[in-house]
Amino acid sequence: MQPNLPPMTPDDDLPTRKDDPVSLIARQDLDPLSVAELEARIAALEGEIARCRQKIETAVNHRASADALFRR
């Protein structure tokens, strides 16, 4: 049986540190931004997502190489 948990809020997925860059970005008011500024923001965030995915792939491949080396 699941314990009674409070409902999740959109901020529950954010890191817990208030000074975390992701938290700061997610809390920024988007109302004053123009469509062009929002599109530029999306492009920048998509670039950062690609950079993070590349770092994950590099780390996974490095780990797999190390595991293969020590299995011999």
Q: What is the per-residue pLDDT across 13-63, written as a single tens digit (0 to 9) for each?
A: 655 777 888 889 999 999 999 999 999 999 999 999 999 999 999 999 888
Rounded-to-integer distance, Cα 49 and Cα 26, Å: 14
Which pLDDT belongs to residue 56?
A: 94
Q: What is the pTM of this model?
A: 0.62
Rounded-to-integer distance, Cα 54 and Cα 43, Å: 17
Rounded-to-integer distance, Cα 55 and Cα 52, Å: 5
Rounded-to-integer distance, Cα 39 and Cα 34, Å: 9
pLDDT digits (tens, 9 = 90+) for 1-10: 556 766 666 5
Give 17's contacts (C-beta < 8 A, 6+ positions apart): 23
Q: What is the dihedral of CA 38, 42, 9, 51, to 10 degrees?
A: -150
